[in-house]
Every structure is written in structure tokens, then in C-alpha cells.
């Protein structure tokens, strides 16, 4: 007994009230005077949890009744008595200004600093508002084209694929294309993919389903402005050039796009294999741009057929969107040998001619989009050795990858899988298509015989500190050199902008000695009428990055042409009564993308078949709908904690003593309150909120509002 009491005392001193009481109760019903004294002291000592005061009084009273002489017992009882003040009745009407889901707010400035946004409703545009959008809708923030992802996923969920397509069309110009081949930076940021929350939503594939299930064949957007009378030339008809052209056309400008190849589309047509991107889709989405009055002139090479200077003279502005067509060739011994070629040329040839010569032992060097496409294309090209699995012989399409021996095409990359810049799922597809991937191997030399490459020398690497690209730098491991027999080497080792076509008169002003633009990634150049968009400015990147850059560039062009800022961003805040989500939707599993079997995989057959309509809706319902903002009106809130009890995440609803703000009024931190009297507000930490709505369902006084906050871009006139 004595030991028990001592242990309990120790626990009380350590601030472990519940543990102390549990220990004291272990011996039996707490009735011993000393036990009662200690239970009273344990609660009195903590004194901040609900019920502590009462428990202390109950057990102190019992101890006293049983003859306790501990003076603390009476003290506990006395201190617990609340003294009622006389006089003023303090009858205050509840005065709240934000309200719950069943109230409508006015479009006025936020009444409290604790409000998440600068306005209660309507359009807001302070740094606080944009900061909220960026932190709370991480997918949209991650999208260089700022695609309204929750917006179109909710449209799909409601079966409005047409509207979902329209949202994408507005934001990223090529929904059907990007729905297949986007690098999808959004998905790695998706809240659903955070630790313990499952898998990210298949945002990209959902975009595709919007395109697959829309009814309308061609979707032509309404222009934002009347004809401006300004002429703009765009050099290059890749995604950047076309996106720029589309935006310029919507702004009312007269746009001509120049393309040196016979068909527009740039990398879409020349780089990406048909089995990933059917060509009719590209044509259709380009047609939607032409329909806005954009003229696309093919087979016309700037610098050859017409100079940039001339173009600049004939137009009010020129946008250079010529992509990155200059391959980065490895400067290795034996680089002049036959059988070594750049992957982009290889893909271009296959995409234009439908075939090319390729050896039996193909090595692809690199770890990016191009490397993946080269390997999977090479895998599909015919070879002399045919090894067909017997039972599948009948079903195998001519040119199927099953006709080619396993392992004859491989990808070799000097860093690890983590550093690879590829579309999610592509490494799995490599494996699925029996293409070996060897990482942490760096090429050192080509070995030739009779002028042809017959082998490659590699050295194994280990990863060091991150380099300028943020990826870990490969370091050669001495003594690990080895040789691999090859007959075709495809170099997917990057490419640069080719600026050689810029005529002499402008070169000094625009181009560095190393061939890169002097203006770097900026939209404008030293020459005021000349702008740069997409990979041509940023270096090789993703389609969506190029589109995003082009959209930004167009704003600069328009500003130059009109002298006004005619597109303005806002956070649009709307009242909503119900998000339509319930917590159980979070448990819906990621919908699998159906693909064609290996036996059908040839050059023209699209591998990914797209979601069925039902699966597209099931997948879309997984989206947390991060554009909803749940906010507690602290003046309507009665601090019952029921939302805190119902919350799904440890940090999503907090009992806050004080919020910290920066100079712009943004909420940058908080202090947690421990005692009930210190709780100034029960606050939804929206960055950790997964929009389940459990708090709204739990709130007994409807103090939680739901609002939809969307980033919108609107044409404005002076």
C-alpha cells in the first residue's frame, strides 16, 4: 500500500493525473482516506482538463468525511466554489458575423483577422487570398497551367463530363492530350496521397475521361475581347506555341503560327508515340484553336523562309516558342560510330514514317520522358528474332512487342529511380513490357568495329549531394567498369533550345554565346516586341510546364500590346450548404486504368484504354474537393469540442490560444491552448483539413460554414 501511494505521488508530481488515478483504483474501490486524498490532489494538480475541479472536490470531500487532516482538502473544496458576482446581468446577444453552412454571407471584408480570406464572400485578391489558394488546393498550385482540378473532378462526379472538359480546355488548352501524357505534377501533391491517406486521385486519367465522355465534337471557346487589331506571330506550333496562340486569339489578337514541319503539334506529333497518344486527338484539339481564327502556316522555317527580323517587322509582337530541338549528345570516345543516334530523331522518324531500322540489342541512355518513349517504341519495332509464347500465338498482333525477345531493349540511367523525370506509371509499364531498367550506371565510351558500335562501356555510380537540378549527383565507383554488347544506342540525354535560326541582326541582342537565350526563362527579351515561351525559354521540360509558361508569356504580350492588365486573377468565394462528400468516400479505392494486353501492344494501339464512365465517376468521388473551405465562426461556436472529437486528422482542428499573422495578414502559426479558459478559438487548420465534413455533421449549433474558393481569371476592361 505504501509503495502504491508513493508511486501514485510520483505520477502526480510528473503531471500524469490519469495514470495516478488508475494506479490508485487498481487496489479496489477508492475508499481509503489516503487514496481519496491522492485522487483529489491528482486532479487538483492538473486542474485544466474538464472534470478535474469536480473530481478533486468529490474525493477531497470523501477524505474529509473520513477524517482526513490534510489541510489541502478543505482548500480544494473552497477554491472550487465559483463566486457569483452581483449586479450587472451581462446579458449579451450572441453577435456572430460569419455564420454556419445554413447562413449566407455578404460580400464584405472579413470581420476578423482569424478569417482565412480577406473577404467573407465575392472576389478577393490580396496576398492572403492567393496564399490560401496555393496552400489549400495543392494540385492546382502544382499545375503550371493552374488547372481547376477540384472544379473539374466535381463536375465529373456529377456526370457533367462536358463541363469538366471545358474547365480543362480553358486552363490547359489540350485536355484530351494531357489526359494521356501529362507529367501530372498535381498528383504527387494530392492530399489523398499524404501519409496514411491512401493514393493520390488519378487526376490525369480523370481529365481524359472528361474528354472521352463529352458529347460535343469540337469545343470552341468564346473570346474574351473584341478584335484588337494587333498582329502577333508565333514561332513554333508545339504546345507552347499553340497555347500562346490560343490565349492571344481569345484576347482578340490576330495570330499566325509558323511551323517548319509539315504538320503542327511539335513534340505531340514528333516525339510522343502513337501508342500513348492517338493522333486524331491532337488534330482535334489543334482544330479547336484554328477555329478561333489562328492561322497555322506549316513547312515554313523562320531563319530560312523568312527571318525573325522580318517577322518582327510585319507583326506587333512575336512569340518564340521553338522548343528544344538541339539534342544533347554525349561527348564520349567513339561518338562518331554508326548505330548511335539521338532519341528524338529516332522518335520523329518512327512517328513520321511508321518505322526505322533498329538493331537487336538496343540500349537507351537516359532517365526521362524521351528515354521511356524510345525504349517502348524500340520494343515495338520488328526484329529478326521472333519468340512467341505458344499459347498466345494466335492472338498476337503483327508488330506486337511479344514478337521481340525479352531484354533486347534496355534503359540505362546514371542516377536512381527516384531521380527519374518520367510520367507516373511509366516505370511500371517498362517492367510490364519486359524492358530492363538499369540505374546508377554511367556511360563512359562506345566500342566500335568497322565503324559500327558493338558495345558500350559503363561504370557504376553512387549518388552524392544534390546538384543544380536538385537531383542527387551520380559519382563514379572506381573499378566498377563493365562492357555491354549493343548494336543500337538511343541517346535520351536531354536537348537544348536551338537558337541558330535567329538572324544575325538580332542574335547579339537575344542569344548568349552558348546558344541559350539571354533573357533566360523570362517572357520578354531585350527586344521589346519579341517574347519567348515554353521550352525555348525554360529548357526542356514537360508539356504542362510549357503551356503554363506560354500562358504567362501571353499576359506579358497583351500588356505590351494594350498597355493594360486585361486578365486579372481572383479568389472567388461562394457560399455552399453541403460539399456532398462524406467521410466514407475517402475509402473508395484508386480505380485501375485498363490497358491492352501485351499481345495487342504494337506501335499504333493505344495502351491505356481509359476509364469507363462509371469508373470515372467513382474515381472523381475520391477527390477531397480541396476548394471547399470549412471555417468555424468562433462567435457562434460554443466550444463543445464535438468537432474536435470527430476530426479525422490529428492537426485538422485545433484549440488555439492565439493565431500568428504576418504583415500581409496571413496566418503563419498558432499557439495551442491547454486550459479551457485559454482556448480563444476552435480553429480549422485548413492545410491539414481533408474536407470530410465530419466537423459540420458534428457541430450542434451549425457554426461551421462551407465555402467554395476558386482561383478564377477574368477579363477586365479599364
Residues in 652-671 that interact with another protein by CB under 8 A: 657-658
149-157 helix and 203-213 helix, angle to the nearest 10 degrees = 50
How far is it, in rounded angstroms, from Cα 693 to Cα 458? 55
Nearer to another protein, 404 or 673 (CB): 673
For residue 21, state whether it binds another protein (rule: CB under 8 A): yes
Nearer to another protein, 516 or 639 (CB): 639
Instruction: Tell which positions 258-287 bind another protein, by CB under 8 A.
Output: none
For residue 83, state whether it binds another protein (rule: CB under 8 A): yes
Q: Which residues pair with 341 in a beta bridge?
A: 490
For residue 589, state whether it binds another protein (rule: CB under 8 A): yes
For residue 99, state whether it binds another protein (rule: CB under 8 A): yes
Per the CB < 8 A criterion, the answer to whether 220 and 608 are in contact is no
Going by C-alpha positions, the residue among 502, 561, 563, 499 that lies closest to residue 529 is: 561
Per-residue x/- mask for another protein, residues 51 to 70, rule CB under 8 A?
x-xxx--x---x--------
Nearer to another protein, 65 or 417 (CB): 65
Going by C-alpha positions, the residue among 709, 712, 713 that lies closest to residue 119 is: 709
Instruction: Tell which positions 617-636 bind another protein, by CB under 8 A.
Output: 617-618, 621, 634-635
| Side-chain-side CA neighbours of residue 148 (13 Å) | 26
Instruction: Tell which positions 365-394 bind another protein, by CB under 8 A.
Output: none
For residue 677, state whether it binds another protein (rule: CB under 8 A): yes
Backbone angles phi, psi at 119, to 5 degrees: -125, 160
Span of 206-214, 336-344, 487-495, 574-582 interacting with another protein by CB under 8 A: 574-582
The distance of closest approach from Cβ of residue 393 to another protein in the complex, given in angstroms and rounded to an integer, is 38
Span of 2-10, 94-102, 274-282, 554-562 interacting with another protein by CB under 8 A: 94-102
For residue 252, state whether it binds another protein (rule: CB under 8 A): no
Going by C-alpha positions, the residue among 588, 676, 584, 675 that lies closest to residue 638 is: 676
Secondary element (H or E) of residue 234: strand 231-235
Instruction: Tell which positions 478-507 bind another protein, by CB under 8 A.
Output: none
Looking only at the bridges linking them, the beta strands covering 452-466 and 472-476 are antiparallel
For residue 672, state whether it binds another protein (rule: CB under 8 A): no
Nearer to another protein, 174 or 683 (CB): 683
For residue 584, state whether it binds another protein (rule: CB under 8 A): yes
How far is it, in rounded angstroms, from Cα 343 to Cα 168? 31
> What per-residue string of b and e applies to 437-450 under the rule 16 or more CB within 10 Å gives b?
bebbbbbbbbbbee
For residue 587, state whether it binds another protein (rule: CB under 8 A): yes
Per the CB < 8 A criterion, the answer to whether 691 and 581 are in contact is yes
For residue 2, state whether it binds another protein (rule: CB under 8 A): no
How far is it, in rounded angstroms, from Cα 609 to Cα 594? 5
Those residues with Cβ within 8 angstroms of residue 599's Cβ, 6 or more apart along the chain or in another chain: 392, 395, 396, 397, 400, 402
The distance of closest approach from Cβ of residue 18 to another protein in the complex, given in angstroms and rounded to an integer, is 5
Sole binder of another protein in the list 94, 216, 262, 384 (CB under 8 A): 94
How far is it, in rounded angstroms, from Cα 706 to Cα 344? 49
For residue 84, state whether it binds another protein (rule: CB under 8 A): yes
Sole binder of another protein in the list 278, 448, 580, 665 (CB under 8 A): 580
Q: Which residues pair with 112 in a beta bridge?
A: none
For residue 90, state whether it binds another protein (rule: CB under 8 A): yes
Nearer to another protein, 118 or 591 (CB): 591
Secondary structure (DSSP) of 557-576 = HHHHHHSS--EEEEEEEEEE
Sole binder of another protein in the list 1, 3, 67, 86 (CB under 8 A): 86
The distance of closest approach from Cβ of residue 484 to another protein in the complex, given in angstroms and rounded to an integer, is 47
Three cell numbers, residue 456: 558500350
For residue 305, state whether it binds another protein (rule: CB under 8 A): no
Going by C-alpha positions, the residue among 553, 520, 500 that lies closest to residue 325 is: 500
How far is it, in rounded angstroms, from Cα 117 to Cα 128? 6
Per-residue x/- mask for another protein, residues 151 to 190, rule CB under 8 A?
------xxx-------------------------------
For residue 93, state whether it binds another protein (rule: CB under 8 A): yes
For residue 91, state whether it binds another protein (rule: CB under 8 A): yes
Amino acid at each position: 500500500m505504501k509503495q502504491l501511494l508513493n508511486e501514485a505521488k510520483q505520477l502526480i508530481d510528473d503531471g500524469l493525473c490519469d495514470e495516478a488515478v488508475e494506479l490508485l483504483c487498481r487496489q479496489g474501490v477508492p475508499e481509503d482516506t489516503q487514496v481519496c486524498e491522492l485522487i483529489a490532489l491528482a486532479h487538483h494538480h492538473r486542474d485544466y482538463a474538464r472534470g478535474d475541479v469536480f473530481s478533486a472536490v468529490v474525493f477531497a470531500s470523501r477524505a474529509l468525511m473520513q477524517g482526513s487532516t490534510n489541510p489541502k482538502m478543505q482548500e480544494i473544496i473552497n477554491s472550487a466554489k465559483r463566486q457569483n458576482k452581483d449586479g450587472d446581468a451581462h446579458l449579451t446577444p450572441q453577435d456572430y458575423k460569419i455564420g454556419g453552412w445554413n447562413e449566407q454571407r455578404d460580400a464584405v471584408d472579413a470581420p476578423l483577422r482569424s478569417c482565412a480570406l480577406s473577404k467573407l464572400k465575392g472576389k478577393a485578391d490580396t496576398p492572403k487570398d492567393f496564399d490560401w489558394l496555393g496552400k489549400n488546393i495543392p494540385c492546382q498550385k502544382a499545375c503550371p497551367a493552374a488547372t481547376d482540378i477540384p472544379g473539374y473532378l466535381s463536375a465529373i462526379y456529377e456526370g457533367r463530363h462536358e463541363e469538366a472538359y471545358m474547365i480543362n480546355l480553358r486552363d490547359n488548352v489540350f485536355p484530351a492530350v494531357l489526359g494521356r501524357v501529362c507529367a501530372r505534377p498535381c498528383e504527387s501533391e494530392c492530399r489523398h496521397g499524404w501519409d496514411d491517406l491512401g493514393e493520390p486521385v488519378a487526376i490525369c486519367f480523370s481529365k481524359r475521361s472528361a474528354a472521352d465522355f463529352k458529347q460535343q465534337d469540337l469545343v470552341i471557346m468564346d473570346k474574351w475581347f473584341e478584335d484588337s487589331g494587333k498582329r502577333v506571330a508565333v514561332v513554333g506550333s508545339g504546345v507552347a506555341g499553340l497555347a500562346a496562340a490560343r490565349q492571344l486569339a481569345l484576347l482578340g489578337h490576330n495570330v499566325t503560327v509558323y511551323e517548319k514541319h509539315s504538320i503542327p503539334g511539335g513534340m505531340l506529333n514528333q516525339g510522343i508515340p502513337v501508342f500513348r497518344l492517338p493522333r486524331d486527338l491532337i488534330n482535334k484539339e489543334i482544330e479547336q484553336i484554328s477555329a478561333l481564327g489562328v492561322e497555322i502556316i506549316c513547312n515554313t522555317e523562320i531563319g530560312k523562309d523568312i527571318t525573325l527580323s522580318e517577322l518582327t517587322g510585319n507583326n506587333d509582337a512575336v512569340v518564340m516558342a521553338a522548343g528544344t530541338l538541339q539534342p544533347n549528345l554525349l561527348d564520349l570516345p567513339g561518338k562518331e560510330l554508326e548505330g548511335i543516334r539521338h532519341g528524338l530523331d529516332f522518335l520523329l522518324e518512327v512517328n513520321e514514317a511508321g518505322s526505322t531500322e533498329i538493331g537487336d540489342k538496343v540500349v537507351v541512355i537516359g532517365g526521362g520522358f524521351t528515354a521511356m518513349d524510345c525504349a517502348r517504341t524500340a520494343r515495338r519495332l520488328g526484329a529478326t528474332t521472333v519468340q512467341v509464347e505458344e499459347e498466345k500465338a494466335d492472338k498476337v498482333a503483327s508488330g506486337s512487342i511479344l514478337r521481340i525477345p525479352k531484354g533486347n531493349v534496355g534503359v540505362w540511367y546514371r542516377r536512381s529511380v527516384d531521380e527519374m523525370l518520367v510520367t507516373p506509371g511509366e516505370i511500371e509499364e517498362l517492367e510490364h513490357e519486359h524492358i530492363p531498367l538499369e540505374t546508377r550506371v554511367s556511360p563512359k565510351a562506345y566500342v566500335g568495329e568497322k565503324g559500327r558500335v558493338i558495345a558500350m562501356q559503363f561504370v557504376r555510380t553512387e549518388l552524392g549531394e544534390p546538384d543544380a537540378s536538385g537531383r542527387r549527383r551520380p559519382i563514379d565507383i572506381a573499378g566498377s567498369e563493365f562492357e555491354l554488347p549493343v548494336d543500337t544506342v538511343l541517346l535520351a540525354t536531354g536537348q537544348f533550345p536551338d537558337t541558330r535560326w535567329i538572324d544575325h541582326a538580332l542574335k547579339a541582342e537575344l542569344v548568349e554565346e552558348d546558344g541559350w537565350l539571354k533573357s533566360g526563362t523570362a517572357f520578354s527579351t531585350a527586344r521589346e516586341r519579341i517574347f519567348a515561351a515554353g521550352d525555348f525559354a525554360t529548357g526542356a521540360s514537360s508539356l504542362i510546364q510549357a503551356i503554363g509558361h506560354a500562358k504567362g508569356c501571353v499576359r506579358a504580350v497583351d500588356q505590351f500590346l494594350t498597355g493594360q492588365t486585361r486578365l486579372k486573377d481572383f479568389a472567388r468565394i461562394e457560399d455552399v450548404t453541403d460539399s456532398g462528400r462524406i467521410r466514407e468516400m475517402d475509402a473508395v479505392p484508386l480505380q485501375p486504368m485498363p490497358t491492352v494486353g501485351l499481345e495487342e501492344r504494337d506501335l499504333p494501339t493505344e495502351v491505356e484504354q481509359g476509364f469507363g464512365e462509371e469508373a470515372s465517376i467513382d474515381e472523381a468521388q475520391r477527390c477531397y474537393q480541396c476548394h471547399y473551405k470549412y471555417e468555424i465562426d468562433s462567435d457562434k461556436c460554443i466550444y463543445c469540442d464535438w468537432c474536435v472529437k470527430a476530426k479525422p486528422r490529428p492537426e485538422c482542428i485545433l484549440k488555439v490560444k492565439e493565431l500568428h499573422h504576418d504583415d500581409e495578414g496571413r496566418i503563419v502559426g498558432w499557439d495551442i491552448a491547454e486550459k479551457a479558459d485559454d482556448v480563444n478559438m476552435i480553429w480549422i487548420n485548413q492545410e491539414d483539413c481533408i474536407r470530410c465534413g465530419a466537423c459540420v455533421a458534428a457541430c450542434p449549433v451549425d457554426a461551421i460554414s462551407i465555402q467554395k474558393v476558386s482561383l478564377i481569371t477574368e477579363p477586365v476592361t479599364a
